[in-house]
Amino acid sequence: MQILVVADSHGDTSNIREAMRLHPDIARVLHCGDGEADVVALSRAYPLVDFDGVHGNCDRGALFPLDRLLRIGGRRIFMTHGHSFGINYGVDGLVEQAKKDRADAVLFGHTHRPLIEQVGGILLVNPGSIAGRFPARKATYAILDLSASGITATGFEL
């Protein structure tokens, strides 16, 4: 199962739509914050695709929770924007929470910098900024691949 992971769209859905076009086999879209209204708009435009999101520091109205633990394809995925875990200063808080939740992967955003890294057996994925906003120079996203043998992630640029 392939899942599109995005963050920090900040009101621009065009690159998410493009990523969905480039990966027509995705089963789900996970948005890691700063784009709640974008998730709502896209879920209406693509009613056959499942969307989940979390609340980012720039989202107004708090439609989504600050973080969530998802169970998808037999895997536990912790999802947050990252600002409430001090992500600008490192991933330790995220790793600690993932261990408490027995998560296989942590998805987050906020920094606008892509990251795919294994830490203590936990896959950390920051897809970067799908809008390509500062300090990012290009729009980026990730694809999670969940299989019987595990969970992997691949980063992409638009």
Give the CA dihedral 58, 60, 65, 67, nearest 10 degrees: 0
Q: Is the pTM of this model over 0.85?
A: yes
- The pLDDT of residue 136 is 73
| 5's tokens | 């992971």
CA 38 from centre of chain: 13
CATH number of the domain bearing residue 125: 3.60.21.10
Domain range enclosing 29 = 2-157
* Count of Cβ atoms closer than 10 Å to residue 90 Cβ: 10
3-state secondary structure of 54: coil
| 33's tokens | 């914050």
Q: How far apart are CA 103 and CA 76, in angstroms?
A: 5
Q: How many domains in the chain?
A: 1
- Residue pair 49/20 in contact (Cβ under 8 Å)? The answer is yes
- The pLDDT of residue 102 is 97
- The pLDDT of residue 69 is 98
Q: How far apart are CA 31 and CA 96, in angstroms?
A: 21
- Residue pair 85/94 in contact (Cβ under 8 Å)? The answer is yes
**Tens-binned pLDDT, residue by residue, of the chain (158 aa):** 999 999 999 999 999 999 999 999 998 999 999 999 999 999 999 999 999 999 999 998 878 999 999 999 999 999 999 999 999 999 999 999 999 999 999 999 999 999 999 999 999 999 999 999 788 789 999 999 999 889 999 999 99
| 60's tokens | 């107004």
